[in-house]
Amino acid sequence: EHGGSGKVVMGHEDGLITIDATEADAHRREARRVKLGEPYRTLLGHMRHETGHYLWDLLFELDGFAEAFRRLFGDERADYGDALERHYAQGAPSNWQDARISSYATMHPWEDWAETFAHYLHMRDGLETARDSGLIAPERLAAAGPDIRSEIGAWIELAIFMNTMSRGLGHGDAYPFLIP
């Protein structure tokens, strides 16, 4: 399918991100998105997700990170293979939106982290683009550093605008997620 031999597994190793080249084909990517029941699937999203995994590897070396991570995302020492099998056999819990950014984030703490990080990058890029385009006031984004609550509030307002605009043009939501 990807033009070579064997199966391409998207992922990263020591910061080298591997993406299945067929993900660049919009029709194939859309077919996978539908098959997997995903509301959103992009090459940029894959890159951001895998960057989150790589960043986790770096941050995990810092004192106190493991404990803070486990409080927020769960214990990453849970068997990943078992979690993957369970996720694709049973799907996400029915109430996953109460605490996770995506159904895939429920699969394992590593995926929760990577999905959360990818969405943070989506949010930052969207907010910076809106600011630079004059859609939101520059002071909405803290100059001295991110104020996450303020950024999330600004992002929710922007996402509502984008989704409403997209629907008004006859398309689906531009950002089909709820931030828990």
Q: Which residues pair with 17 in a beta bridge?
A: 12
* pTM as predicted: 0.88
Q: What band does 146 get if pLDDT is binned at 50, 70 and 90?
A: low
Token digits of residue 120? 């943070």
Report the distance separating Cα 96 and Cα 27, nearest Å: 28
How confident is the model over 1-34, as pLDDT tens digits?
Answer: 445 566 777 888 888 898 888 888 999 999 999 9
Residue 140: DSSP 8-state: G
Angle between helices 65-73 and 109-132 (to 10 degrees): 90
Q: Alpha helix (H) ranges present in the chain?
A: 26-35, 43-59, 65-73, 80-90, 109-132, 148-168
How confident is the model over 36-81, as pLDDT tens digits?
Answer: 888 889 999 999 999 999 999 999 999 999 999 999 999 999 999 9
C-alpha 140, offset from chain centre: 23
Whether residue 148 has pLDDT greater than 90: no
